[in-house]
Amino acid sequence: MSSTDDSARDGRHESAAEKLDRNWMELLQELRVLQTGVQIMAGFLLTLPFQARFGTLDDFQITLYLANVTLAALTTALILLPVSVHRRLFRQHLRAALVSSADRLAKAALAGIGLLSVGTSALVFDVTAGRTAGLTAGAVLLATLLILLVYVPTRLRQRARRGNLPGE
C-alpha cells in the first residue's frame, strides 16, 4: 500500500511530503518534552557537588553520580542531534532520511532518559536510605519503565494491527 493509500485510510488525505512534514513536527514536539526532562535531571545532578553532603559519598555513589552526569550529557546530545542533522540536510530534499533518523534518535533519547531516571533515583535512594534501598529502587524503576516505555507501546501496536484498537 502506498503512502497516499495510507493517508486516505487514516482520513488525512495528505501527500507524502505533507506526511513527512507532519511527522517531523510531531518528532520535534516529542524531543522538546524529552529535553525538558533531561534538563531538569541534569540541573539537579550538576548542583549536587556543591552540597555539603557530597563529600561523604562513597566510591559506588560517586561512580553512579558520574555515570548519571555522563548519561545526561549524552542524552542531551541525542536530543539535539536531529536539529544538527536538520541544519546539515536543510534544502537537500532529504526529509524522509531526516524523519527516519530523528525517529531512531528520539527512541534512543527515550532510553537515555529512562536510564537517567533509574540511575538518579538509585543514587538518591542510596544516599538517603542505604545501598539496598538504592539498588532496589533502581531495579523496581527499571522494571516499571521497561513495562511503560517498551511493553505497553508494543502491545498497543500489536492490538492496533489486529484491529483491536482504532487506527490513527
pLDDT digits (tens, 9 = 90+) for 51-97: 888 999 999 999 999 999 999 999 999 988 888 887 777 777 777 88
Q: Is 9 exposed, middle or buried (0-12, 13-18, 19+ CB in 10 A)?
A: exposed
3-state SS, 3-17, equals HHHHHHHCCCCCCHH
Q: Where are the alpha helices (DSSP H) in 10-166?
A: 16-47, 59-89, 95-129, 131-146, 152-161
The low-confidence residues of the chain, meaning pLDDT below 70, are 1-11, 165-168
